[in-house]
Amino acid sequence: MMFDWTGRFDGEEDSYQRIFQRVNTAADYNAVDPNDFVLHGFAVDEGVKRNKGRVGAQKAPDLIRKNMSNFPVFNSRFSLKDFGNIHCDNEDLEKTQIVLAEKVAQVLAKQGKSVVLGGGHEVTFAHYSGIRKAFPNQKIGIINFDAHFDNRQPENDLATSGTGFWQIAQQSEIHSLHIGIQKNSNTKHLFDTADQLGMKYILADEIYSQSIPNLMFTINAFLDEADVVYVTVCMDVFNAAIAPGVSAPAYNGIFADHSFMQIFRHILSQPKTKALDVAEVNPDFDIQERTARLAASLVNEWFMI
């Protein structure tokens, strides 16, 4: 069943409109126009379950939509096409990841911008696979806002929410920058694996106002090397005070303050940025929908550029 986009109605003129008034849920993929934002919900947390995390993220996509629907529209050209949710049947995560990848590839082939609402962070491998299919000969730069590297080797060949970057590295040379990494959330082995795979990272402790010029230099150098940029945000990168509803809460995580927003908006403003997802919102543990609202707000930052 498709989500029913509703919100406060102030008028039909552009200056009055809100996101729910610009959503098309009836279009097919052939109707995607260049620069349309195209939304899929990844209502899946089988990877979180396999990774021994707190399940519940499969319920998040529609809650994020709800918190997104009433945001005002500031870009007169803004158009959002919503193709509904993808679910995981019979615990077959691998098949579900292929389904999302195929849909994302169709969007990008039409020069649309891909937005995916998770769901667990197993969305990363699925989303990336669709981008890779659409841009087979391009260098894809992945910017991952996350407390974790998600570079675990799968056990018994089963993907989880924590294996995405290991899987990507098995397909081709990985080009990734991980922002917000926590030392108390990753073993030394995972740090060593990141180094071996060539995964670049910025620790959470390194994100503060005085460090912004140096961080921007690092980020711009990374962006310059990429042909296409994909941004993925695991909501457990944030402090539990502002994002309590996640699969693996980080009590010393970062805040969505000026320093973070300066970095985040800069990345989203790049013409190379073609895809964005938010993951690990868990409504079962959220408080007053704080985490869902923050996730919706982060997606809306891209809509306002």
Binding residues for Mn(2+): 121, 146, 148, 150, 234, 236
Binding residues: 121, 146, 148, 150, 234, 236
> What strands lie across the sheet with 80-87, from one edge to the other?
23-24, 80-87, 37-43, 113-118, 273-279, 228-234, 140-145, 176-181, 200-203
Phi first, then psi: give them for residue 211, nearest 5 degrees: -90, -5
- DSSP 8-state secondary structure symbol assigned to residue 282: -
Query: Angle at CA 90, nearest 5°, toward 126 and 124?
Result: 15
The whole-angstrom separation of Cα 250 and Cα 234 is 11
Rg of the Cα atoms in the chain: 18
The whole-angstrom separation of Cα 166 and Cα 170 is 6
Residues 100/123, Cβ–Cβ less than 8 Å: yes
